[in-house]
Structure 1
Amino acid sequence: MSDTDPVLAAEQAHLDHARAELARMREHTLSLVPDGGDAIADEALAWALHRRAASLVDDPSSTLFFGRTDHDGGESLHIGRRHVTDSAGDPVVIDWRADVSRGFYRATRDDRGGVRLRRRFGVEDGRLTAYEDEHLLDAHEEDHASAILAREIERPRSGPMRDIVATIQPEQDALVRADAQTTVCVQGAPGTGKTAVGLHRAAWLLYAHRERLTRQGVLVIGPNRAFLSHISAVLPALGEVEVEQRTVAELLTVAAEGRKEVRVRADEPAVVATLKGDGRMAEVLRRAVWSAVGDPARVLESGAVVVTRGSRRWRVPGYLVKDLLDELTTRGIRYEAARNLLPQRLAHAVLQLFEAAGDSPDDVVQDSVARSPEVKRAVKELMPVQDAAKVLFRLLSDREFLSASSQDLLTEAERDLLLWPRPPRTAGSAKWTAADAVLLDEIADQLQRTPSRAHVVLDEAQDLSAMQLRAVGRRCSTGAATVLGDIAQGTTPWSASSWDDVLGHLGKPDGALEVLDRGFRVPSAVIDYAAKLLPSIAPDLSVPRSVREDPGLLEVVETADPVARAARVTAGLLELEGSVGVVVAGDQVDAAAAALTAAGVGFSRLDVDEEVRRVSLVPAGLVKGLEFDRVVVVEPAAIVAGEPDERTGLRRLYVSLTRAVSAMVVLHARELPAELAA
C-alpha cells in the first residue's frame, strides 16, 4: 500500500503519537525521586521505579501496536505489547494481555464478542507498511488467510527468538490465558509455538497477578544455556525484565536459600545416571534421612529423658519419648522442622509431670526446660544434625546402609551400580556427578522445605528424569506450572514415555494436557520428511501438519564428503536473508569448524561461544528448542550413532530435522536410516 493511503497515514500518526506518549511516561518515571524518610522503603521504591523505567524502553525496530479492533459501541482499540496512556490517563495502546484484547485473537463471525472489525498491520523497521481488515459483521465476506500474518510468521530471523504477540493463534491464546491455579501441560510438535506459548503465559500471569507473582517469583527452566540465550529477549521485549531463567543443572548446583553450592566434577555411565534418576530413589533417600532418628532405649543413657529442676529429677520414660518421635516423624514435615519441634514436645511432657505433682508451670517454664542442657543433649542424640552431602556420601559408600535404605526397592545388582567402587575418604572430597546433584537436592528437601515460586515454566520436560521432575516440582509446590515438550523429541536415556508420568513426578497429577499439532514455523516439506521417523520413535503421536502456504524447500544430497560440502552450501546460503544452522554429530564439530573456517564463513559454535552470529555450528545434542531460517544437517547416520541406542538416536535426528523455518539441506555419505530412505 502507498504511504499516501489515508488510512495508513492516520494509523502511522497514531503510532507516532503512541511513541511520544511512551517517551513521556518513561521521562516521568525517571523524574521521580524516593524521599519518604525511610531508607528501606526508599530503596524498594527506587528499585520499583527502575524496573518501571526499564519496562518503558521503546524498541524503534518494532511498533507499539500490531492490530486494532473496532467494537459495536464505536470504540476502537489499538492492541500492542504494552499499555500506553496519554497525559490525561486515556489509553493510546492496549496491552495485548488485557481482557479487552482477547477479541483480537479469538473473535469469529459466529462468536464476535462485540468485535465488528479486526485490523492487522504490516511492519518494516518500526513503520506501518500495510493493513488488512476483517469485517466480522459481514457474513458474506469470504474467509481468506491473512497475508500479513503469514508474512510475519515466515519472516526470516537472526539472533534471539522474538515474541509472537502479533501472531498468537486462538488455541495458543487459550493456553496463554489459562487460569493461574491450573497447571497446563502442552504436547507440541515442532514449530507449533509451544515455547512461545509458555513464555507468553508467564508474561500474561505477571500482568494479571502482578503482586503475588512478583513477590514469589516466576522461573523459566530450559534444557541448556544455548536454548536460554535463544529465548532470553522474549520476556524483556514484553516488558518483563525480572523473570529468572535457569537450566536444571544450574537450579540444582547454584547455592541459594541456605543451600550449599554443589560442584559437579565427574561423569558416570548412563546406566548409573539412569538409576539415580529413577523415582524409586526418592523413597530410598527418605529412608536414609529418617533412619537417623534414634531409638530412646538405645541412644539415651538411661533409656529416658531426665531433667533436673531444682532439687528434683523428672523422668520422661523411653516409651513416651518414642511416641513423641513417632508423632513428629509421621506428620509429613521436614526433618529439621521435626527436630526444632522436639525440644518443646519433650518440655511439654516434663511439664505434665510438674502438673501431676501439683505444680502450675507456665510457658516461660516450658521454654526454660526446652533450653535445658538435658533436653538439648537428648535432641542431639535422638535427632542429630544432618548434612545432605554426608547422607549421600554414606549411602553411596556403605553397602549395609544402602541395603537397609533400599530394602524391597532395589535389587542387589542395582545396589552394585550405585555403590562407589573406590569411595572417597570424606564427603568433602567426593566428586559429585550431575545425577548426584539431583539426589543432594532431594535430600536437602527432606531436611528443609524448598521455597516455592509462584509459577514455573518448564520447557523440554520430556527429557527430565523422575528425580529431576521432582526437583522442579518442589520449586512450584504452592504454585502452578506450564509444562512444555514433545514426547517424540525425548533424547535422554530416561526420557518420559507419557505426560501422565511427567505430571505425577512433578506433583501435578491433575494438570490439564493440551495438544498443539498445527505447525506455524516449520514448512510442510521439512516436517513431512522428519515425520517419517514418528512410527519408530513415538507411534502413539499424531503426525504434525504445517499450516503454512509456503511448503519450504528440502534437498537430500548424497556426497563423498558431507562436512566439506556443508561448508560450501553454507557459504552459498549467506547470499540469502536469514540465519543458518549447521547441525552435526558431536564428534564432527571440530571437523565442521575447520571446514567452515577454510571456506571463509564466520560462525559461532554453540557449544563454546556465547556470542550468536548469523551462522551457528550446533552439535546435535544442543539443537533442541532452537530454530534457524535455513538448516544444513550433516550425516544423519552419525547423529543416530552418537546416542546410546537407536531409538534415542532417531529421536535426536528428528529434533535435528525440525529446526528449519524456510529450507533444509541434508548431506550424507553413509546410508540414511531406513525410515528416511523409504
Structure 2
Amino acid sequence: MDERELAQETEWIARVLGEARRQYDECAGANERLEAEARETNRELWEEVGPLGAGGGLEQIADFMGYIDAMKRQGRSHAALRGQRTKLERMLLSPYFGRVDFRKNGEDEARPAYIGLANLVDADYRALVCDWRAPVASLFYDYETGPAAYDCPRGRIEGELTLKRQYRIRGGRLEYCFDSSLKIDDEILQQLLGRSAEGRMKAIVTSIQREQNRAIRDERGPNLIVCGPAGSGKTSVALHRAAYLLYRHRDRLSAQNILILSPNRVFADYISDVLPELGEEDIPQATFAERMRPLLPRAYKKEDYAGLMEYLLGPGGHTAYARRTRGIRFKSSARFLALLEMYAAELSGAERSFAALELGGETLASASELSRLYNREYRAFPLKKRLGKLRARCLFLLENWEQGRARILASGKYPPGSDAYRSLACAVKREVHSARARVEVWTAFDPVALYRDFISGLAGRQGEGISGDVADICADTLENLGAKQLFYEDQAPLLYLAALLGDAEKDAQTKFVLVDEAQDYTILQIKLLRLWFGGAGVTLLGDPDQAINPYMNLGGFDALEGVFPPGETQRVELDKSYRSTAEIAAFARALLPEKRWGELAGRHGQAPATLYFPDEALLRRTLAADAAVCLAQGYRSVGIIARAKHQAAEICRSLKGKLDAKAILCGDEEFASGVVVIPAYLAKGLEFDVVLLYDAPGEGFRREQERLLFYTACTRALHELRLYRVGDGAPQ
C-alpha cells in the first residue's frame, strides 16, 4: 500500500468515525427527549388521572390505560435507542475490520465495501460500513482475489474480487492494515489464536474461516449438522449462526424465537458475551435436563446428568455397576428406541372397551357408545387427547344429570331442609362423586404406569430377541420405579413415550434450535426434541470423538439418517482445528483410535509434559505452585481438570490458603478467569490458556471407556498442557 492509499484510508476512517459520532450524538439527544417525555407522561398520569378507585368509573380507567400505552411506546423507543447507542459506541472504537473491492460482471469499476459488526449508513443513504452478515460480506470470508460471487435476494452476483484488505482499529485509531490475497488465518488469525483466553468466549467475526462461514450462512434446508474436531469453532459457528439468522430474518424473527441448548450452565455462562458483542439480544439458553425437569413426575427422585457421570466415573467392577452400564447402553440403543416406538404404536392403535356410564339407575352412555367414541370418533387424535375427549364427554353427561336433579330439588316437591330433601341431595352428591371417580380411572393417562408396563412387557418377552441381560435390566428398572426413583437414562424414554402418545405441548414460539455438544445426545433424545419443537429448524453441532459418556451418546452423525425428513438436512464438516498448539493437538489426537480429522492450525508451543511424583502431597504442592507461575507468566486462565467431582473438591481443599482458585463442581456455577478447578465432564466446550490435568492415583484416566473423556480434557488447552501423576521417578 502506497502513501496515497494510506491517506485515502485515513480519510475514510475519519469520515466513518465522524458519521458514527454524529449519529451517536443524535441518539443521545433523542434519548434525553424521551426521558423528559416519560417524566412528563408520568406526572400527567398521577396529576390528571390519579390512582384508580371504585368511584372513578370507566372514563378514568380508559384515561389510565391510555397513559400506560404511551409509557409502553416510550419504553420500546428507549430500548431501540439504547441498542443503537451500544452499536455506535462499538463502532467508535472499531468501525470495521475488512474491505472488499468487487467488480460485477458487465461493470467497469470495482466498488469497495467495508465490513464491520453492523451497518452504518449516512444521511445520503450511502453505506459506509456493511454488516458482516450482509450478502456482500461473504466475499471477505469465502474468496481470495480473483473470480468471486455472492448470493443475495436478487440472485447470484458474479464478478471479480480485486482487493481484500484487513484492518486493526482500536480506540478509533488505525493500528495497521494490509492487503491479503491469502486466507484470513495467514495473518490476523494467528495473532488471535496466540493471545490469552480472557474469561468468557469472544466473537470471532474478524477471523471467520471459509468453512465456518459456509455453516453460519447455510440456508439450503431447515436443519443443519455441523461436525468437527475439538477447537474447530463449532460453538462459535452456532452463536454466529444465531446472529446471522436474526439479521437475515429480522422481519419475522426475534431473539426469543431461537433457543440454544447448552451442555450445562457453566458453558451457557461461558458463551453469554458473544451475542451481545455481535449487537444482538441474549438468546434464551437451556440445558436438555432443564427442558425435561418440569415434565417429569414430581413425586419421583430424579438423577441429574452430573449424578450419572459421577456414578460412571466411580468404582466399577461390581455386579450392580455392570448391570447398570449395560442398561444405559441398551436404553440408548436403536433397538430400545424401536421397541418403545412399537409399544406406543400398539397402544395408540389398540381398541378399548368401557363399562356403561350409569347413574341413579339411568344409563347416561352405554358401553358400546363409549367404545364407539374412543375407537371410532376420536381415533384421529393422539391417545392422551382421545382419553381427554372421552372424559369431557362423560363429565358433560354427569353435569347434565346433576343439573336435572338440582331442578327437581328446586321444584318444591321436597321442602328445603326436610329429611327427604337432604337425603336426595346427599344421594346425588354421593353418586356423582362415585361416577366421576370411575370416569377418572377409565380415562387416566399416567406416563409412568405406561412406561412401567412397557418395561414389564420387555422382561416377559425373553426369547423373542430379548436376552437375559435385558430381563435383568428390566427387573432393575421396575425396582427403581417402585422406589420412586428415576435414573437419568429412564427420563428421556419416559418423556418420549408420553410425547408419542400426545403428552407434549409443542413450543410454537421457538423457530430455530441450536444444539451444542450434540454427540452426547442419543437418537431418542434428538427425536424427543423434534416432538417438543415441532417444525423448528434444528442445528446440531458436535464431535463424536468428544463423547464423554461411553454408554449414552449419538455414536456418530450417520445415525441421524431418518430422524429428519429427507432433503431437509445439510451437513457441514469443519476439518481444521484452531484452538490448541500443534503440539497439544498432536498429543491429543494420538489418543484417538482412528484419525478422523485433518489440518491443524500452524501455531507452535511447548510439547505437553507428563510429570511423575513419588507421593500425592508433593504432586498437589507442585500443582499449586505451577498454577501460580502460569498466572505470573501472564496467562489469564488456568484449568485444573480432574477426572471426577470428588477429586476436584479435594484439590480445592488442598489449594485453600495457597492459591485463589474457583471451584466448578455442579455445573450451575458461573465461569471465571484465573484458576478454575473442574471435573473433566463439566469442562467440555470450555478453553483455558493452560490445562493442568490431575490424574489421581488409583482412580485416574485408566479405563478404556474413558479415553474420549481424557481426550476432551486435553483439548481444553490453548497453549500449555501438563499431566500430573503419582508414580515412579522424580518430577521431570
Same fold per TM (> 0.5)? yes
1:416 aligned residue (458, 475, 486): 475
Q: Which residue of 2 aligns with 1:264?
A: 302
2:554 aligned residue (493, 496, 507): 496
Q: Which residue of 2 aligns with 1:336?
A: 385
Q: Which residue of 1 aligns with 2:277?
A: 237
Q: 1:181 to 1:170 in 2, by over 3 A?
A: same
Q: Which residue of 1 aligns with 2:100?
A: 69
1:101 aligned residue (134, 137, 162): 137
Amino acid of the structure 2 residue aligned with 1:632: L
Deviations 1:21-48 (A, max 9, x none): 5524644774557999867876775565
Contact in 2 for aligned 1:191/1:522 (Cα 8 Å): yes
Deviations 1:537-582 (A, max 9, x none): xx3x52442122x222223132314332222221111122432222
Q: Structure 2 CA distance, aligned partners of 1:383 and 1:25?
A: 68
Amino acid of the structure 1 residue aligned with 2:601: V
Q: 1:41 to 1:485 in 2, by over 3 A?
A: farther
Contact in 2 for aligned 1:190/1:658 (Cα 8 Å): yes
SS in 1 for 2:604: coil
Q: Structure 2 CA distance, aligned partners of 1:455 and 1:265?
A: 29
Q: Structure 1 CA distance, aligned partners of 2:3 and 2:267?
A: 40
2:708 aligned residue (625, 646, 651): 651
In structure 2, list runs of 5 or more residues that go unmatched: 42-62, 104-108, 150-158, 313-323, 397-431
Q: 1:405 to 1:412 in 2, by over 3 A?
A: closer
| Shift, 1:191, TM fit | 1.2
Amino acid of the structure 2 residue aligned with 1:134: S
Q: Structure 2 CA distance, aligned partners of 1:244 and 1:262?
A: 28
Q: Structure 2 CA distance, aligned partners of 1:41 and 1:232?
A: 32
Contact in 2 for aligned 1:639/1:652 (Cα 8 Å): no
Q: Which residue of 2 aligns with 1:618?
A: 678
**Greater CA drift, 579-588 or 293-302:** 293-302
**Greater CA drift, 555-564 or 454-463:** 555-564
SS in 2 for 1:419: helix
Q: Structure 1 CA distance, aligned partners of 2:584 and 2:95?
A: 34
1:447 aligned residue (503, 524, 528): 503
2:162 aligned residue (108, 112, 116): 116
Q: 1:74 to 1:564 in 2, by over 3 A?
A: same
Q: Which residue of 2 aligns with 1:369?
A: none
**Greater CA drift, 173-182 or 279-288:** 279-288
- Map 1:588-599 onto structure 2 (within 5 A): 588-598=647-657
Q: Which residue of 1 aligns with 2:664?
A: 606
| Shift, 1:68, TM fit | 1.6
**Greater CA drift, 160-169 or 240-249:** 240-249
Deviations 1:612-635 (A, max 9, x none): 132222221211101112222222
Q: 1:145 to 1:512 in 2, by over 3 A?
A: closer
Q: Which residue of 2 aligns with 1:9?
A: 10
Q: Which residue of 2 aligns with 1:185?
A: 225
| Shift, 1:437, TM fit | 4.1
Q: 1:84 to 1:525 in 2, by over 3 A?
A: same
| Shift, 1:15, TM fit | 5.1
Structure whose residues are more often helix by fraction? 2
Q: Structure 2 CA distance, aligned partners of 1:176 and 1:502?
A: 21
Contact in 1 for aligned 2:695/2:723 (Cα 8 Å): yes
2:625 aligned residue (551, 565, 568): 568
Q: 1:83 to 1:26 in 2, by over 3 A?
A: farther
| Shift, 1:479, TM fit | 1.8
RMSD: 4.4
Q: Structure 2 CA distance, aligned partners of 1:123 and 1:547?
A: 25
- Map 1:84-233 onto structure 2 (within 5 A): 84-113=120-149, 114=159, 115-124=161-170, 127-134=173-180, 146-179=186-219, 181-214=221-254, 217-233=257-273
Amino acid of the structure 1 residue aligned with 2:543: D
| Shift, 1:284, TM fit | 3.9
SS in 2 for 1:299: coil
| Shift, 1:240, TM fit | 1.9
Normalized against structure 2, the TM-score is what?
Answer: 0.72
Q: Structure 1 CA distance, aligned partners of 2:73 and 2:272?
A: 26
1:660 aligned residue (710, 714, 717): 717
Q: Which residue of 1 aligns with 2:517?
A: 460
In structure 1, list runs of 5 or more residues that go unmatched: 136-141, 309-314, 348-372, 425-429, 673-678
Q: Structure 1 CA distance, aligned partners of 2:704 and 2:26?
A: 55
Q: Structure 2 CA distance, aligned partners of 1:484 and 1:26?
A: 39
Q: 1:477 to 1:301 in 2, by over 3 A?
A: closer
Q: Structure 1 CA distance, aligned partners of 2:274 and 2:568?
A: 29
Amino acid of the structure 2 residue aligned with 1:447: D
Q: Which residue of 1 aligns with 2:688?
A: 628
Contact in 1 for aligned 2:505/2:532 (Cα 8 Å): no
Q: Structure 2 CA distance, aligned partners of 1:423 and 1:175?
A: 47
Q: 1:252 to 1:657 in 2, by over 3 A?
A: same
Q: Which residue of 2 aligns with 1:529?
A: 587
Q: 1:517 to 1:454 in 2, by over 3 A?
A: same
SS in 2 for 1:438: helix
Deviations 1:114-170 (A, max 9, x none): 4321111124456431111136xxxxxx88963223212332221110011110111
Q: 1:167 to 1:8 in 2, by over 3 A?
A: same
| Shift, 1:339, TM fit | 3.4
- Map 1:228-377 onto structure 2 (within 5 A): 228-254=268-294, 264=302, 271=324, 272-278=327-333, 280=336, 284=340, 287=343, 297-301=353-357, 318=368, 322=371, 324-327=373-376, 331=380, 333=382, 335-336=384-385, 339-340=388-389
Higher Rg: 2
SS in 2 for 1:518: coil
2:639 aligned residue (581, 584, 593): 581
